Amino acid sequence: MARKNNRQILENLEVVDAGAKGKAVAKAEDGRVVFIDNAVPGDIVTVQTFKKKKAFYEASVLSTSKYSERRVEPVCPHFGVCGGCKWQNMGYEHQLFFKQKEVEQNLKRIGKIELPEIIPILGSEKQYFYRNKMEFSFSDNKWLTLDQIRSNEIIENRNALGFHIPGMWDKILDLDICYLQADPSNAIRDFVKAKAEELNLSFFNTRHQEGFLRTLMIRTSSTGEIMVLLQFFHEDEENRKLLLEAVAKEFPQITSLLYVINSKGNDTLYDQEINVFYGRDHIFEEMEGLKFKINAKSFYQTNSEQAYELYKITRDFAGMNGDELVFDLYTGTGTIAQFVAKKAKKVIGVEAVPDAIEAAKQNAQLNNIENVEFYVGDMKKVFNDEFITTHGKPDIVITDPPRDGMHADVVAQLLNLSAEKIVYVSCNSATQARDLAILDSKYKVIKVQPVDMFPQTHHVENVVLLEKR
Ligand SMILES: C[S@@+](CC[C@H](N)C(=O)[O-])C[C@H]1O[C@@H](n2cnc3c(N)ncnc32)[C@H](O)[C@@H]1O
């Protein structure tokens, strides 16, 4: 172990795992775990640490003496700089292997519960261009590569349209291409940037809070509709119209061309007025004949094809026969609730975001589904004894909480309710395992099925069926 500038150099470490947050994992001689960026299990690397804690180091690779057979050449020229697809250098079958392993380890180590054999992870048919929504930021402070900095070349045009560099709130990677959203996403982004520069429009400066252009959002749907939203920092009617008209002319396939004038400190849209430049203020997504209306602020699963697979597994696990009262907790815009409704007697969805519940009700009406009801509120408050007295005791509970998992009060209420089955959908198997450990006093895990919604990233979704003991 050598030292350099107070940082440690750890030589010839064998990378043995790919862990949480997408980091590669090795073991140091002193017993600490080493989390490493941009390495692949099977690599042998020399690393420099930049963080030391009681149980682990964080480190970056200085050199690689053996390259893993699991490696593949990343397709994207921005790989390693962009934070988006950290596993692009690992073959897809290996990505799936490590996702499955993470789920299994979390359920075993954190949950410490009796488990059935875990069903092999369902991979995504599309490994690129699978996202239906992308958000890009404008900046006049483009991220420069090391080569550009070292070349001493004066780069006058620092305009960028792309993603934040991980950990840097004011630096934007100027994208040449992105492999996450299908065409015409790249063409629209490139055109908007080129046209904005031709019109001499200013790109946003986050540090000084000035500039005209802030963000570009593109949403596509399986029905072929396209929504484009441009966010401006202030109104400049003439230039706004010039840019939007040019976009409309170049891409007649856009069905919703929207804009927002947002002068607040951050660029979140939830409290902003959405203006329609032309077309509708929404697009539609379709699943098994159900239509879901999606506006600029709506949440919808970003990988539509895999969302369908996830929902089918959820419905299969629930195994309804048409007589059941089903609760769909954390229902979002009520997609799961509507998806299972035709197999249930009645479905009740609960969600914290009022707009999402409004959309859920509209969608249910649009789909002529009459056996669903939606309620808005914080789960730990709404899901109380009064709620149960009013709506009855459910036969089946489907729960799909955010990354933090369920609040302890919600888990306690589930134990109290004693529904025959619980289907627990999770995007974070660590918090899911924590919740399952508590439910273990009354429920046995019957089935576990991980699903890959986000190829090239470490994220993994997991569906668990619990039955009352
Ligand atoms: C993982 S999403 C699930 C969405 C939905 N099941 C779907 O497939 O589209 C989690 C949802 O929980 C909601 N949520 C987060 N915290 C909540 C809380 N404390 N009470 C109720 N809903 C909450 C979020 O707004 C989000 O819609």
> What is the per-residue pLDDT across 28-78, written as a single tens digit (0 to 9) for each?
999 999 999 889 999 999 999 999 999 999 999 999 999 999 999 999 999
Residue nearest to atom 7 of ligand 1 (CA): 332
What does pTM read for this prediction? 0.93
The alpha carbon of 351 and the centre of ligand 1 are apart by a number of angstroms equal to 6
- 3 state DSSP class of 45: strand
ipTM, 2 dp: 0.99
Those residues whose C-beta lies under 8 Å from the C-beta of residue 388, and which sit 6 or more positions away, are 417
For 202, the enclosing helix (H) or strand (E) is none
Q: 16's torsion region: left (phi>0), alpha (psi -120 to 50) or beta?
A: alpha
Extended strands (E) in 165-317: 172-174, 213-220, 226-232, 256-261, 275-279, 282-287, 290-295
Q: Which two tokens stand for residue 386?
A: 């009064």
pLDDT at 154 over 90: no
Query: Is the pLDDT assigned to residue 3 strictly greater than 60?
Result: no
Report the nearest-CA residue for atom 23 of ligand 1: 352
Atom 6 of ligand 1, nearest CA residue: 331
Rounded alpha-carbon distances, angstroms, from residue 361 to 357, 367, 467: 6, 10, 30
Q: So what CATH class is 2-66?
A: mainly beta
351 is in an annotated binding site: yes
Please check whether the two domains, 95-126+303-468 and 133-287, share a CATH topology. Answer: no
Q: Is the pLDDT of residue 443 over 60?
A: yes
User: Which residue, judged by its Cα, is nearest atom 26 of ligand 1?
Assistant: 332
pLDDT band per the 50, 70, 90 thresholds, residue 157: confident
To test ligand 1's pocket by mutation, which of 302, 348, 351, 357 has the most ligand atoms within 8 angstroms of CB?
351
Among the listed ranges 123-132, 190-199, 341-350, 355-364, which one has the minimum average pLDDT value? 355-364
- The residue whose C-alpha atom lies closest to atom 17 belonging to ligand 1 is 352
- What ranges do the domains of the chain cover? 2-66, 95-126+303-468, 133-287
Q: Are 409 and 431 in contact (CB under 8 A)?
A: no
Q: Is there a contact between 195 and 246 (Cβ–Cβ < 8 Å)?
A: yes
Position 355 scores a pLDDT of 84
Per-residue pLDDT tens over the stretch 319-348? 999 999 999 999 999 999 999 999 999 999
CA distance 69 to 405: 36
**Is the Cβ–Cβ distance between 26 and 14 less than 8 Å?**
yes
Ligand 1 centre distance from Cα of residue 331 (Å): 6
118 half-sphere exposure, CB direction, 13 A CA radius: 23
Confidence of residue 1 (pLDDT cuts 50, 70, 90): low
CATH of 95-126+303-468, one of 1.25.40.10, 2.40.420.20, 2.70.210.12, 3.40.50.150: 3.40.50.150
Residue from 132, 294, 330 to probe ligand 1 pocket by mutation (most atoms less than 8 Å from CB): 330
The CA R_g of the chain, rounded to the nearest whole Å, is 24
In which band, very low, low, confident or very high, does the pLDDT at 5 lie, cut at 50, 70 and 90?
low
d(CA 430, CA 76): 30
| Per-residue confidence (pLDDT) for residue 167, from 0 to 100 | 79
Cα(452) to centroid(ligand 1), Å: 19
C-alpha of residue 355 to centroid of ligand 1, in Å: 12
Over the chain, what is the mean pLDDT? 94
d(CA 284, CA 281): 11
Question: What pLDDT does residue 409 have?
Answer: 96
Q: Report the pLDDT value the prediction gives residue 6, as an integer from 0 to 100.
A: 54
Residue with tokens 């539609």: 284
Q: Is 427 a catalytic residue?
A: yes
CATH number of this structure's domain 133-287:
2.40.50.1070
- Answer yes or no: is 301 a known binding residue: yes
pLDDT higher than threshold 60 for residue 429: yes
User: Which atom of ligand 1 lies closest to the CA of 311?
Assistant: 8
CA distance to 140, 193, 195, 217, 253, per residue, from 242 (Å): 20, 13, 9, 18, 18
Find out whether 330 is annotated in a ligand binding site.
yes
pLDDT tens per residue, range 392-406: 999 999 999 999 999
- Ligand 1 midpoint to CA 340 (Å): 17
Ligand 1 atom at minimum distance from 403 CA: 1
pLDDT in tens, 401-420: 999 999 999 999 999 999 99
pLDDT (0 to 100) of residue 171 = 86
% residues pLDDT > 90 (the chain): 88
Ligand 1 neighbours (beta carbon < 6 A): 299, 301, 330-332, 335-336, 351-353, 356, 378-379, 400-402, 427
The size of the chain, in residues, is 469
Kindly report, residue by residue over 273-318, the tens digit of the pLDDT: 999 999 999 999 999 999 999 989 888 999 999 999 999 999 999 9
Predicted confidence at residue 38, as pLDDT, reads 87
On whether 400 is known to bind a ligand per the annotation, the reply is: yes
Task: Tell me which residue of 22, 18, 114 sits closest to 433, measured CA to CA.
Answer: 114
Burial class (CB in 10 A: 0-12, 13-18, 19+), 251: middle
